[in-house]
Amino acid sequence: MSPSATLKTSNNDLINHITSLNLSVVPSPPSTMTSTIADTFCTGHYITVSCPHFNRQPAASPLSVRVPNGATLRSSHTATLDLPGFSPAACQAYIFPGLASHPLISIGQLCDDGCTATFSATRLDIYRDTTLLLTGARAPATGLWHLDLTPAKTAHALIPDSSLADRIAFVHASHFSPALSTWCTAIDAGRLPTFPDITSKQGRKYPPLSMATIKGHLDQQRANLRSTKPSSVPPVALPNPLHESQLDFCPAPATPPAGRTHHVFAAHQRVTGQIYTDQPGRFLTPSSTGHTDMLVLYDYDSNAIHVELMKSKSGAEILAAYQRAHSLFTQRGLQPQLQRLDNEASPALESFMTANQVDFQLAPPNLHRRNAAERAIHTFKNHFIAGLCSTTPDFPLHLWDRLIPHALLSLNLLRGSRINPTLSAHAQLHGAFDYNRTPLAPPGTRILVHEKPAVRETWAPHAVEGWYLGPALHHYRCHRVWITETRAERVANTLAWFPSRIPMPTASSTDRALATARDLVRALQNPSPASPFAPLDATQHQALLHLADLFASVAAPASPTAAPTPAPPVPAPPPAQVRFAVHIVTAEHAPALPRVPILAPPAPRVLSRTRNPGRRRRKARKQPPTPTLVPAHPHNTRTRPFLVPASANAVVDPATGASLEYRHLRTARVC
């Protein structure tokens, strides 16, 4: 259990907190700062002109607020904050032109709308049920929680506004086709904030039916599902139960009511520095760079899974891979302190861990449950197999190691950090990921890469064939691609996509115009004037709102109109029919017709299948020979198929053992 510290405040502390805001009536030019201060003591939202808002109206009855220095501020207008997900009553705000500090956002007004505010040592999150609506960070200098009211805007030109199902399938495949439940959980947790406007509700309504997801994540059916085993008999109550006074009974205390309090506490999460490593089996085929094996590292604190490639499982390769992983986590502030690995560890690896003050423990032989990297290997293999199955069928498999960075990025974006549950494992390790800066696409997609005029010949094609490998993380809106002709990797920013399994999201000219109109409406409804210029007056603001209403009516989707009812078909006139008079002749008046003699049909002539003499000879040999009827004589026995008695076996003389001929067997005739 991680230790926690509790910090309690009182009403005097809250008054001092209000005093520390430095409220004054000194006029100041409007600022473009959209950061506000979350305040649990204010009864309403007190903002400035530069705070994003719309529907600004002059205050009929100005609100007077007394500040700690004794001065009094009066509100000039009422406005509505641009807070998606909140009711109009929760967005009602008062504008104070003389407010020199940051705008104040009332946490009580948001909680009265059915929301829940969660304060931690570094963050502030406001939920409605399980949906994250607002998030903020704590300023280390002042110790106050700040909320940014500027909603994140997505790039409509990057992925056009097209069919929602196609867009969901495309973004899902760009994450290596994860399980739908894992993907929706990451969306609800706010780990994919900069991706196109996709919610978990839309993902469950239009689930991407991907065979790659099933091929990578299908497991054995769980036991005891729909079991036919009868349930156990419920216990029978005792006829005379004992009274509570006769038992050693200690009732549980009642749960305190979940009312609003002013208690503030900061939770402390201890960083353990535990890492786990292991090596899975050899991959199916060596890569073009010679890699055949991998070292999987699992960091417990950040919940991140990292993979280092190896060309063999020798001690030197394992040591080099571990040194690269150790250097990466040390640079990111997650220096390993306790290393748990399998029972096979080289002396060089143990010496390196000892020299870097890393305590290590070896798992018992044939006992894998002690090493958490075994589960990390299972998770990574499922994720990577699903991504490989989503590639184009003729994608060269020797490029599998070049897909590892994309696989790790998409996997760690779906995993939450233990140090800060509101961050993903990738954000905890490498920082926040911006989809608008680094777009993603399904791995292994066939593409055409644009050739710049400076490197191509005069009459050469303007594009060459290649394969998409992943994003170029250190370039702005660029991709890592593999060129088939040169057999080399390249970074490119202009591609033409030819997916085979997932349709590419497309947009018509109407879709693009509607997306532009929506962006213009949002810009007009949320003006942000620069600080050197004076704020817009009421007339200009009303004109901009009228223009926004015009564009909003144009950008709104047209209601489907009922199709006109087709007119009933007019029956065509029947075609003219010609009827002939049939004269029926009875048998009595029928003339005698000559009879045609019936001749027997000629016998069919059967031709042999072939006239090859060699085939006829082979066929004749298979038939039994026909005996020849010739008179029997002791000579010329070769022409007879059967031997005659004259050519029987010779008779042996019993006395001498000599073979006797026919002349010896002839005896003298006795008269």
Give the confidence band of 263 by pLDDT, cuts at 50, 70, 90. low
**Distance between CA 165 and CA 163 in Å, rounded?**
6
Give the confidence band of 184 by pLDDT, cuts at 50, 70, 90. very high
DSSP 33-67: --EEEEESS-SSEEE-TTS-EEEEEE-SSPPEEE-
**Distance between CA 301 and CA 182 in Å, rounded?**
20
Given a contact cutoff of 8 angstroms between Cβ atoms, the answer to whether 457 and 490 are in contact is: no
164 pLDDT above the threshold of 60: yes
Q: What's the confidence (pLDDT) of residue 580? A: 59
> Out of 16-25, 171-180, 250-259, 326-335, which region has the weakest mean confidence (pLDDT)?
16-25
**Distance between CA 116 and CA 110 in Å, rounded?**
8
Q: What's the confidence (pLDDT) of residue 666? A: 65
**Distance between CA 487 and CA 404 in Å, rounded?**
19
- Stretch 154-181: mean pLDDT, rounded? 74
Provide the terminal-to-terminal Cα distance of the chain, rounded to the nearest Å: 137
**Beta 446-450 vs 463-471: how paired, if at all?**
antiparallel
Given a contact cutoff of 8 angstroms between Cβ atoms, the answer to whether 54 and 82 are in contact is: yes
**DSSP label of 660:** E
589 pLDDT above the threshold of 90: no
DSSP 545-578: HHHHHHHHHHHSPPPPPPPPPPPPPPPPPPPP--
- Stretch 574-579: mean pLDDT, rounded? 64
Residue 299 token pair: 């960091």
Give the confidence band of 82 by pLDDT, cuts at 50, 70, 90. confident
8 pLDDT above the threshold of 50: no
Given a contact cutoff of 8 angstroms between Cβ atoms, the answer to whether 56 and 79 are in contact is: yes
Q: What's the confidence (pLDDT) of residue 495? A: 93
**Distance between CA 410 and CA 403 in Å, rounded?**
11
Neighbour tally for 269: CB within 10 Å: 16
Q: What is the pLDDT of residues 599-611, one digit of tens each?
A: 666 666 655 555 6
**Distance between CA 495 and CA 449 in Å, rounded?**
5
446 pLDDT above the threshold of 60: yes
Helices 373-389, 404-413: crossing angle, 10 deg rounding: 110
Neighbour tally for 243: CB within 10 Å: 7
Q: What's the confidence (pLDDT) of residue 195? A: 83
Determine the 3-state secondary structure of 267 from DSSP.
strand
Neighbour tally for 222: CB within 10 Å: 6
Integer angstrom CA distances of residue 479 from 132, 353, 445, 466, 471: 31, 37, 12, 12, 4
> Out of 280-294, 456-470, 621-635, 649-663, which region has the weakest mean confidence (pLDDT)?
621-635
Given a contact cutoff of 8 angstroms between Cβ atoms, the answer to whether 169 and 211 are in contact is: no
* 618, containing H or E segment: helix 613-622
Q: In terms of residues, how long is the chain?
A: 671
Of the candidates 405, 468, 383, 378, the one whose C-alpha atom is nearest the C-alpha of residue 213 is: 383
Q: What's the confidence (pLDDT) of residue 6? A: 34
Q: Give the residue, 134 or 398, on which the prediction is more confident.
A: 398
- pTM (global) more than 0.75: no
Q: What is the pLDDT of residues 408-444, one digit of tens each?
A: 999 999 999 999 888 999 999 999 999 999 999 999 9
3-state secondary structure 65-126: EECCCCCEEECCEEEEECCCCCCCCCCEEEECCCCCCCCEEEHHHHHCCCCEEEECCCEEEE
- Stretch 283-300: mean pLDDT, rounded? 95
Q: What's the confidence (pLDDT) of residue 30? A: 37
* Winning range, highest mean pLDDT, from 121-135, 155-169, 229-243, 246-260: 121-135
Q: Give the residue, 156 or 558, on which the prediction is more confident.
A: 558
* 405, containing H or E segment: helix 404-413
Q: What's the confidence (pLDDT) of residue 155? A: 43
Q: What's the confidence (pLDDT) of residue 1? A: 40
- Stretch 541-561: mean pLDDT, rounded? 61
Residue type, 530: A
304 pLDDT above the threshold of 80: yes
Of the candidates 193, 145, 171, 184, the one whose C-alpha atom is nearest the C-alpha of residue 37 is: 145
Helices 509-525, 538-555: crossing angle, 10 deg rounding: 160
Give the angle 461-463-469 at the CA atoms, nearest 5°: 155
671 pLDDT above the threshold of 60: no
**Distance between CA 135 and CA 123 in Å, rounded?**
7
- Stretch 284-308: mean pLDDT, rounded? 95
**Beta 92-95 vs 45-47: how paired, if at all?**
parallel
- Stretch 534-562: mean pLDDT, rounded? 60
Please enumerate in sequence order all residues whose Cβ is within 8 A of that of 293, keeping only pairs 6 or more positions apart, or say none: 279, 280, 282, 283, 309, 310, 311, 312, 313, 317
Q: What's the confidence (pLDDT) of residue 295? A: 95
Of the candidates 115, 112, 85, 80, the one whose C-alpha atom is nearest the C-alpha of residue 95 is: 80
DSSP 457-482: -TTS-SEEEEEEEEE-TTSSS-EEEE
Of the candidates 391, 324, 333, the one whose C-alpha atom is nearest the C-alpha of residue 352 is: 324
Give the confidence band of 2 by pLDDT, cuts at 50, 70, 90. very low
Beta bridge partners of 81: 53
Integer angstrom CA distances of residue 235 from 232, 243, 642: 9, 19, 99
27 pLDDT above the threshold of 50: no
- Percent over 70 (pLDDT), the chain: 67
**DSSP label of 637:** G
Q: What's the confidence (pLDDT) of residue 396? A: 95
- Identify the residue whose tokens are 């010496």: 351
Task: Give the CA dihedral 375, 376, 377, 383, nearest 10 degrees.
Answer: 110
**Distance between CA 161 and CA 511 in Å, rounded?**
6
Count CA atoms closer than 13 A to 427's CA, side-chain side.
Answer: 22
> Out of 165-169, 174-178, 439-443, which region has the weakest mean confidence (pLDDT)?
165-169
**DSSP label of 592:** P
Q: What is the pLDDT of residues 512-543, one digit of tens each?
A: 676 677 667 666 666 554 444 445 566 766 77
**Distance between CA 543 and CA 87 in Å, rounded?**
26
Mean pLDDT value across the chain: 77
Of the candidates 79, 43, 40, the one whose C-alpha atom is nearest the C-alpha of residue 58 is: 79
